C-alpha cells in the first residue's frame, strides 16, 4: 500500500493506493507463472502541498503499471472524510482525477487499478 499526505487549507488528505486482488488461496509463492496474469501496481504521483481549501486537488495515477502490459482501468474513491463533508472526485474512473473537498479535515482517498482481470496488489 502506498500513502500520500497533502495539506489543503487546513484539510489533511491521506491518499492510499491499494487493491484487493488476491483471494488468499493456493501456495504462498506470489511469483506469477508464465501463463498467469500478474496484478498491476497502483501509484499516486507526488502531490503539491499546501493548497488553499478553495483549490481542487489533482490526483494522478499515470505512474501505475502492469507487468503484463495490459491496459489499466482506474477507480478513485473517498474512504473517509470529516463529519458533514460532501466531497467528491471528478473523473473517478480516469488516471487524472480531482478531489473537490468542501470541509477542512482529513480525507482518505483510495486508488485501485485493474488490468481487466485482477485488482492492484
Rounded CA separation 90/116 (Å): 22
Cis peptide upstream of residue 50 (ω within 30 degrees of 0): yes
Please state, in angstroms and rounded to a whole number, the distance separating the CA atoms of residues 1 and 16: 7
Which residue has better confidence, 34 or 65?
65
More confident residue, 23 or 106: 106
Q: How far apart are CA 22 and CA 55, in angstroms?
A: 37
Look at residue 9 in the predicted model and tell me its pLDDT.
Answer: 54
Q: Select from 2.60.120, 2.60.40, 3.40.30, 1.10.287 the CATH code of 2-20+39-114.
A: 2.60.40
Residue 53 has pLDDT above 90, yes or no: no
Does the structure show a pLDDT above 90 at 19?
A: no
pLDDT at site 74: 97
Residue the block writes with cell 489543503: 8
Residue 56's pLDDT is 82
Pick from 21-30, 36-45, 48-57, 100-109: least confident: 21-30
Q: What is the mean pLDDT of residues 61-84?
A: 94
pTM: 0.74
Amino acid at each position: 500500500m502506498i500513502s500520500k499526505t497533502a495539506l489543503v487549507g487546513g484539510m489533511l488528505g491521506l491518499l492510499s493506493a491499494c487493491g484487493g486482488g488476491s483471494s488468499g488461496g493456493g501456495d504462498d509463492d506470489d511469483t506469477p507463472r508464465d501463463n498467469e496474469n500478474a496484478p498491476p501496481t497502483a501509484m499516486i504521483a507526488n502531490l503539491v502541498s499546501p493548497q488553499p481549501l478553495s483549490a481542487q486537488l489533482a490526483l494522478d495515477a499515470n505512474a501505475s503499471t502492469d507487468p503484463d502490459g495490459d491496459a489499466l482501468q482506474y477507480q478513485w474513491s473517498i474512504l473517509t472524510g470529516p463529519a458533514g463533508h460532501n466531497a467528491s472526485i471528478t473523473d473517478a474512473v480516469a488516471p487524472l482525477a480531482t478531489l473537490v473537498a468542501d470541509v477542512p479535515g482529513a480525507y482518505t482517498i483510495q486508488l485501485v487499478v485493474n488490468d481487466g482481470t485482477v485488482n492492484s496488489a
